[in-house]
Amino acid sequence: MDNKLSFEEIFEQNERRIHYQIHKMNIRDPHQEFFQEGLVALWNAYETYQPDKGPMATYFNYMIRNRLIDYMRRENRHHENQQQAIQAQKIQDTDGNHHRGTEASNPIVNERSFPLDDASHWKHIKSQLTENQWKWVYGYIIQEMPYKEIAEQENTTVDAVKSWGKQVRKKLKNTQLREIMLMEDSRL
């Protein structure tokens, strides 16, 4: 053990291994982040190497390569999480509720933004809907009941209630109905 090389000597002899693995894996490393990971892997390999288990060079290559792969996976996961957060923020910012027209992006009427205390507004909407669609509007929007409660109250299935809601949303997307509702709002 007295003739064991220092890490500085090991580093001088094996620095090119790190560069080789980075190059072999086609990694662009402008900020030397991967090189640093490779250096840590070399240190760990130096500390844990057991001569009776195999050649030192093979062990160094194995440790460096796997450390670089792990780092790439972490970076990719981090990047994916950032992209998901950005996408979620975009959806939240736009309410995910826009219809692309020919030239402009028109917001779809959000049923949660209707004035809940305006009886004339609701009367007009009710006149445009079927009885079941109105049950959905009254239960889900006005009373803020969950689908399951509405289904139990109306003695039907949750899927039926969801279907009523889809039909209402489809009608609310209708440009003419939206314009009529906006005109009524502007009269108030």
H helix or E strand, kind and range, residue 54? none
- Please give the distance of CA 61 from its chain centroid, rounded to a whole number: 36
**pLDDT value for 188:** 47
| More reliable by pLDDT, 60 or 124 | 60
Close Cβ partners of 108 (under 8 Å, ≥ 6 residues apart): 97, 98, 99, 169, 172, 173
Give the pLDDT confidence of 111-121 residue by residue, as tens digits: 444 455 667 77
Domains and CATH numbers, the chain: 7-94 (no CATH), 106-187 (1.10.10)
Give the pLDDT confidence of 18-69 residue by residue, as tens digits: 989 999 999 888 888 999 999 999 999 988 988 888 888 899 999 999 999 9
**pLDDT value for 2:** 47
Please give the full DSSP string across 58-93, using - where no structure is assigned: HHHHHHHHHHHHHHHHHHHHHHHHHHHHHHHHHHHH
Q: Name the nearest CA neighbour of 136 among 120, 152, 125, 147.
A: 147
Average pLDDT on 145-167 reads 89
Close Cβ partners of 50 (under 8 Å, ≥ 6 residues apart): none
When mean pLDDT is compared over 25-29, 83-87, 123-127, 177-181, the highest value belongs to: 25-29
